[in-house]
Structure 1
């Protein structure tokens, strides 16, 4: 009897073993079929500037700009991308089927197949629209099959129809300025047929193409001509945008790297040196600009204003102060004033007297020439720490973008009818940022021009006549060859005004 029970148990175990093996075998076969029929991209942990992974044969997917501490999250992100990218995968599968069908039928060329794949993957309405009526900028917007061959001057709109258009312009926000445009490469936006070069890198994010030439390197123009327009072009895209930069100096991008990293998840493409053929479904060539160092909310995406831009900068550079010190905070410390002391033209020639006056009125004084150098972040922290910034009209006052809200800007205007320019460049932007603004125009006796010209000279009698002779004449006369010696007794009222604004 015992032997029968033993044989029965053995038989039962054998049956269960066979059943388990059958289930395991089915699972292995199913997983093998899934892996073969649906390709999976394995992540690679690359450098801080991103890595490239294989997509389809002969192409790459654009790298993402990541901080080192984000590398460990790459697996989770790729899994999310695989779930969210179902349509892209289906497009690739459809493309593979189309290629097989074409091969069987003696089919299309490789270029036609690549074009078909991009059309399926893009799935956006074709559009090529250019605007040249704006007085400050020229801009083209494209959607569909857009290809940008690196190390070229072309942005190609692929159209199978008979459209034959080409638009040539310089994508820099200072239209009509011959001196600036001499340092900006002309690009051509043109419609071409399907014989366009094949894509080697595909981008899911849209592209913004612009020049970093012109007057970049000058702090005022860095913000007015590029960084503020770039904010308008990209902020609403929440990092999902690829910058393609012509006339690019790597040191300049590095100087403002926190801004680029805050606006885009991807490393900047050097249009002049990169040799890939980058493909997009949406591209904007050129940056929209409203006015000097400011934004018109009525024309900006999401109604963005300079207040929003200042907040963005505080986030990008990790600036702590979003308000100036109130009267309670100042009970145990002095209000801080930053004096922007230019070294060459428009310099304070009695700086020592100015600092003595500020000290007598109870300020903690910081003197700096306003040059951010390569470490913009460090200088931004300094500016953000003060309550008042004082300087003669010039690019150093651009640092007002880092001031906390309700801080005060004091602009000293040199002799020569420059009040309109002072208001345009820094007065209105300061007000747009909700900063307090005080303007002090010097008298003839406070100008070094009194040592160069007699009192009856047109420089003093009719300064606007120099404006009428053109910007170069005006600039050389009143900006490049003038210094300032403030009347301390008269200027004292201006500093008192700044103190009153702090107390309020």
Structure 2
């Protein structure tokens, strides 16, 4: 009898232990098998689904950890908005709940208050909320915005004549009375979010230099301190661009993009950023010029994490290859292509490189090509957008830029100078006039050959068709070999 009684507690204990294990099983599964290996992400996803996130309901939550509340996490997120402004602009934001930083290149407007967003056709309007407790200065500001809405072009080169063709303006409109029926009210919220919105235009796409320099880096600069707790609202949407940079977008925001060209619902946010910060330089991200901290090493680390790149240092990449150092040779299809590409490959192979010829089909697949560049020791290419992939090179690698005739300044400033902050060695191969097909076209005595500066002074519309669009290069193989030997010395293998 005593044995039977003693067995009962053990049976109860076993039942309790089994129940606890079954309750913890989903969490264990999430930690082991989730690509993020984070229990917080797992429970956040469960919370989002339970609140209707991603579903077809009238009102959904962005699915933040706070489960739609406005507690401490929301307050800290809202405080991050203030870091995007400084000086009098930040003071105005703290006083009125809305302020803009404006310069000749870009506008960045911050709303530290609830906003509505409504799309009419291709035009997006951001409505600032009304409040019964607004102070006098905020009341005056809202009255001014109600009478004269603010028009913002959310692209970092707002006055660039070419870019303006592809960027629609956004209207920021104050809303003093939601019961107003005169047409200035957006109506009730179809979708409510519990994280701030970041509104920007894709503007110019199709060229990796402009995509990275004028969209991706400004996006990182403006949003990385939010730690993914923001939602992107994208105007002038381009599906190919969104696919190409999906890994970057998903590492800056935990939430799906709102595509204003398709989503016509009224979206409501606790705050918003309209426009992106920009350094007005090429492939740089500096700490000192803007309120938010940023550096190229931080940006490159972010890229390694986003694209799951293996190597920070070239020595690691070379050790992983276990044999020959890898040389990636960028192959252009049209202008500034290598006439004697095959001979260049043979020279590099004889010197001991394993050569990968990167065709446009490979370079446009950023998910794959970023890994190829991150695994190489030397990147070689003629001046052009493909050299933007230098951002994926491991530290200690070498980039060799072939400088076509008449393109010295652009080559150095667009792709040479940025390498100083990347820890990457830089070599310039400046071609002689005889190595340019322009020499065959114009002859040795034409100003195109003897005095490129005189052509540039006539304007970009004159010089571009010659030096950018019509030139091919035929490298001197002896000089090319000497350049690669110099690259090998820098690698110190």
With structure 1 as the length reference, what TM-score do the two structures score?
A: 0.75
After superposition, the C-alpha distances for 1:28-87 in whole angstroms (9 at most, x for unaligned) are xxxxxxxxxxxxx995749xx952487xxx6332357xxxxxxxxxxxx6xx648x7568
Aligned to 2:373: 383
Write the distance in 2 (CA, Å) between the matches of 1:179 and 1:267: 29
- Per-residue deviation at 1:132? 2.5
* CA deviation profile, 1:398-422 (whole Å, cap 9, x unmatched): 1111111121111111101x22211
Tell me whether 1:208 sits opposite 2:198 in the alignment. yes
Which of 95, 104, 111 is matched with 1:142 structurally?
Answer: 111
Alignment length (residue pairs): 409
1:490 to partner: Cα distance: 1.7
Deviation at 1:364, TM superposition (A): 0.9
Mark the CA change 1:276 to 1:358 in structure 2 (over 3 Å): closer, same or farther. same
Larger radius of gyration: 1
Corresponding residue of 2:278: 289
Task: Say if 2:54 and 2:60, in contact at 8 Å, map to a contact too.
Answer: no
Structure 2 gaps of 5+ residues are 1-44, 75-93, 132-138, 179-184
Residue 101 of structure 2 corresponds to 131
Deviations, residues 314-343 of structure 1 (Å, cap 9, x unaligned): 111111111112699399511110000111
CA distance in 2, matches of 1:447, 1:313: 36
Does the CA-based 8 Å contact 1:52-1:63 persist in structure 2? no
Runs of 4+ aligned residues of structure 1 deviating over 4 Å after TM superposition are 41-46, 84-89, 370-374
Give 1:224 shift.
0.7
Aligned to 1:181: 164
Aligned partner of residue 303 in structure 1, secondary structure = coil
Aligned to 1:299, what secondary structure does the other structure show? coil
Trace 1:69-80 onto structure 2 (pairs within 5 A).
none
Give the 3-state SS of the residue equivalent to 2:174 in structure 1.
strand
Aligned position for 1:280: 269
1:244 is matched with which residue? 233
* Matched-pair contact (CA < 8 Å) for 1:150–1:278: no
Matching residue of 1:486: 475
State the distance in 2 between where 1:493 and 1:88 align.
Answer: 58
Aligned with 1:415: secondary structure?
A: coil
- Which residue of 2 is the match for residue 262 of structure 1? 251
Which of 362, 385, 400 aligns to 1:395? It is: 385
Q: Could you say what the CA RMSD is over the residues aligned between the two structures, in angstroms?
A: 2.9
Pairing of 1:39-438 with structure 2 (within 5 A): 43=47, 45=49, 51-52=54-55, 59-62=59-62, 81=67, 126-133=96-103, 135-151=104-120, 152-159=123-130, 161-162=139-140, 163-165=143-145, 166-195=149-178, 196-197=185-186, 198-213=188-203, 215-290=204-279, 291-300=281-290, 303-325=293-315, 329=319, 332-372=322-362, 375-416=365-406, 418-438=407-427
| 1:487 Cα deviation from its structure 2 partner | 0.9
| Distance of 1:220 and 1:387 partners within structure 2 | 22
Aligned with residue 458 of structure 1, among 447, 453, 458: 447
- Aligned equivalents of 1:260 and 1:172: distance in 2? 17
1:171 Cα deviation after fit = 1.1
Counterpart residue number, 2:492:
503
Inter-CA distance 486–266: structure 2 relative to 1 (3 Å threshold): same
Distance 1:217 1:278 in 2: 29
Q: 1:52·1:62 contact (CA, 8 Å) conserved in 2?
A: no
* Corresponding residue for residue 118 of structure 1: none
User: What are structure 1's unaligned runs of at least 5 residues?
Assistant: 1-40, 65-76, 90-123
- Where does residue 89 of structure 2 map in the other structure? none
Q: Is the 8 A contact 1:52 1:61 kept in 2?
A: no
Q: Distance in 1 between matches of 2:60 and 2:48?
A: 14
Whole-Å separation in 1 of the counterparts to 2:417 and 2:129: 43
Aligned residues of 1:136 and 1:173 also touching (Cα < 8 A)? yes
Contact 1:51-1:63 within 8 A present in 2 as well: no
Report if the CA contact (8 A) 2:130-2:176 is conserved. Answer: yes
Q: 1:188 to 1:466 in 2, by over 3 A?
A: farther
